Amino acid sequence: MSGSSNLVTMKKVVQQLRFEASINRVKVSQAAADLQQFCIQNALQDPLLTGVSSSTNPFRPQKVCSFL
Amino acid sequence: MRSPPIPEMATQEVQLNETLAHLKTESETLKSKLEEERAKLHDVELHQVAEKVEGLGQFVMKTRRTLKGHGNKVLCMDWCKDKRRIVSSSQDGKVIVWDAFTTNKEHAVTMPCTWVMACAYAPSGCAVACGGLDNKCSVYPLSLDKNENLAAKKKSVAMHTNYLSACSFTNSDMQILTSSGDGTCALWDVESGQLLQSFHGHAADVLCLDLAPSETGNTFVSGGCDKKANVWDMRSGQCIQSFETHESDINSVRYYPSGDAFASGSDDATCRLYDLRADREVAIYSKESIIFGVSSVDFSLSGRLLFGGYNDYTINVWDVLKGTRVSILFGHENRVSTLRVSPDGTAFCTGSWDHTLRIWA
């Protein structure tokens, strides 16, 4: 009977919503501060951010062949 | 067996409808409560918190290598942990392993299907996984002998009832996570091909997935045509958080390097950042001039930069904290379909419908 399968589905939806409503959340100000902190702490180790020089980035130096 | 008399059936029917109505009301109440709880914590915007952070200067990023060899649209790529090898897959059924430093092709496999939409490198570097319209995910051990026929050692691991959209090895070569057009994600044991866990909850095709950085535990995020991004517990199969703010299909999801947030790219031409602890969207990366969909996103190592590959052939680079675009990169001659930053963050690779892959640094 389609009625009872609708019931099963609805029960699952409500169960899922109850679960999601119950999780602990932090304020955006706190979460944002943590994201920022992570960026700053790791900035120097980020080659694409700091623009690592050609000598240390394996992709940057173009191969140059000179025939003398 | 005596069938119940008609009045009894009518009563049952009424009870069923009452319970259904009850549940519907409860679900509406819970949904409003969720929105209320999320809104209460929305005390500030990310870019406001980031006002005091130093702005980023000019970026000089160029194509440093072009990988040519695919005969049709490149659909997917992945880096090897050795930071130099790449696997890519294409619409013409070919899967190629490249050395990105030299641009040499090291291996090539022809799949029995076209549109190989997903490929992934094994953590050991000794195998690759791929799949697409064949509805499967297959693993190919990579041989040191270049002349050996890779297809002979192929192992079929995952079976879905619709196309394979994405795949990823977990922390080892032993397990693979897949997402499919059949609306589900699944975790498989590579050796036996056994289904270990399935993940149900998306209402339409699942297009992408990303595993949480290993330090943060056993979760992964998936995005789909139902505009939802879901975060899952890998062990229980439960959906633990769900986000629905995009206005169209979500083509790509990627965790922020700390594991506390993830970014998404969508056909609605925006990238968004969702914080898992605040349980909400905390930034939108968009411009009025950007009207084409985002196919793929990835973060730089520190999480400060977000790279997005777009259907208008460009790559937009965003300042994650300030929400502004810091650079736009040109080069591809058709849609950018896939984008990944290298494991050590020195470069990123893009794949395109123009049949090529490019390494940018």
Q: Determine the residue of chain B that is closest to A24 in CA distance.
A: B277
In a domain, B73, yes or no: yes
Q: Determine, for residues A29 and B238 on separate chains, whether the beta-carbon distance falls below 8 Å.
A: no
Q: Determine, for residues B275 and A14 on separate chains, whether the beta-carbon distance falls below 8 Å.
A: no
B68 touches B356 (CB < 8 A)? yes
- Chain A residues inside the 8 Å CB shell of B263: none
Torsion from C-alpha of A27, A30, A36, A41, nearest 10 degrees: -150
Q: Are B228 and B311 in a shared domain?
A: yes
In a domain, B253, yes or no: yes
Q: Determine the Cα angle at B265 with ends B260 and B270, to 5°.
A: 110
Its ipTM equals 0.87
Sequence-separated (6 or more) residues with CB below 8 Å from residue B5: none
- The DSSP code for B132 is S
Choose, out of A18, A24, A26, A28, the residue to mutate when testing the contact with B (most B CBs < 10 Å): A28
When comparing pLDDT for B17 and B260, which is higher?
A: B260
Q: How many domains does chain B have?
A: 2
pLDDT at B1: 60
Q: Are B208 and B196 in a shared domain?
A: no
Q: In which domain, by residue range, is B142 found? A: 61-200
Indicate the residue among B179, B200, B221 that finishes a domain: B200
Q: Are B134 and B257 in a shared domain?
A: no
Question: Tokens standing for B223?
Answer: 């995005």
Summarised one tens digit per residue, pLDDT across range B15-69 is 888 888 999 999 999 989 888 888 888 889 899 999 999 989 888 899 999 999 9
pLDDT at B231: 97
**Closest C-alpha to B340, from B317, B303, B309, B302:** B309
Task: Determine the average pLDDT of the residues in B125-134.
Answer: 96
pLDDT at A23: 86
Q: Are B184 and B300 in a shared domain?
A: no
Task: Determine the average pLDDT of the residues in B143-159.
Answer: 81
In a domain, B264, yes or no: yes
Question: Tokens standing for B260?
Answer: 């506390």
Q: Determine, for residues A26 and B44 on separate chains, whether the beta-carbon distance falls below 8 Å.
A: no
pTM (two decimals): 0.91
State yes or no: pLDDT of B286 exceeds 80.
yes
State yes or no: pLDDT of B3 exceeds 80.
no
Q: Determine, for residues A49 and B300 on separate chains, whether the beta-carbon distance falls below 8 Å.
A: yes
- Chain B residues inside the 8 Å CB shell of A58: 83-84, 101, 346
Q: Does A42 touch chain B (CB under 8 A)?
A: yes
Size of interface A-B (CB pairs under 8 A): 171
Q: Are B143 and B258 in a shared domain?
A: no
- Chain A residues inside the 8 Å CB shell of B30: 14, 17-18, 21
Summarised one tens digit per residue, pLDDT across range B228-242 is 999 999 999 999 999
Q: Determine, for residues A31 and B61 on separate chains, whether the beta-carbon distance falls below 8 Å.
A: no
For residue B177, the SS3 value is strand
In a domain, B300, yes or no: yes
In a domain, B344, yes or no: no
Q: Does A54 touch chain B (CB under 8 A)?
A: no
Distance CA B214, CA B257 (A): 10
With a cut of 50, list the residues of chain A below it in pLDDT: 1
For residue A18, the SS3 value is helix
Question: CA of B36, closest CA in chain A: separation in Å?
Answer: 10
Q: Determine, for residues B320 and A39 on separate chains, whether the beta-carbon distance falls below 8 Å.
A: yes
Residue owning tokens 């870019």: B47
State yes or no: pLDDT of B119 exceeds 80.
yes
Angstrom CA distances, B108 to B65, B77, B93, B170, stand at: 19, 14, 10, 24
Beta bridge partners of B77: B88
Residue B315: give its domain's CATH number: 2.130.10.10
In a domain, B289, yes or no: yes
**Closest C-alpha to B298, from B260, B255, B335:** B255
